[in-house]
Amino acid sequence: MSKVKLDREEKKLLRAYETGKFKSVLTKARRKQIREAASSTFKKDKRINIRISRRDLDAIQKRAMIEGIPYQTLVSSILHKYVSGSLRDVTSNKTPGTDSTEPRR
């Protein structure tokens, strides 16, 4: 197993944390804002039903098993990444979220 190499600043932070000297600079308001954003990101408040091929479902379930997560969580994650722009359809010339049907140059 390889040991993680820390730079000087990281070592300083680690020592401060381990000795109890590390203090968060987050304000209560900012902490609340971050908590609310995280909570709403993971809130699953809508249900959908889709029909997909057995072959695709089997592949998704196999990939989810490899990742160690439920397949529905994997599907939700893939959809979220796609609509947020961090996952692209490499077979298409379109950028997700645009209405343009012209190929990008």
How much is the pTM? 0.49
- Helix (H) / strand (E) containing 19: none
How much is the pLDDT for 105? 46
How much is the pLDDT for 43? 75
How much is the pLDDT for 93? 66
Nearest residue to 25 (alpha-carbon basis) of 10, 13, 36: 13
How much is the pLDDT for 86? 85
- Per the CB < 8 A criterion, the answer to whether 44 and 33 are in contact is no
Task: For 24-93, give the secondary structure using H, E and C.
Answer: CCCCHHHHHHHHHHHHHHHCCCCCCCCCCCHHHHHHHHHHHHHHCCCHHHHHHHHHHHHHCCCCCCCCCC
pLDDT digits (tens, 9 = 90+) for 5-57: 889 999 998 999 899 998 888 888 988 888 888 777 767 778 899 999 999 99
pLDDT digits (tens, 9 = 90+) for 75-103: 988 998 888 888 877 787 665 555 555 45
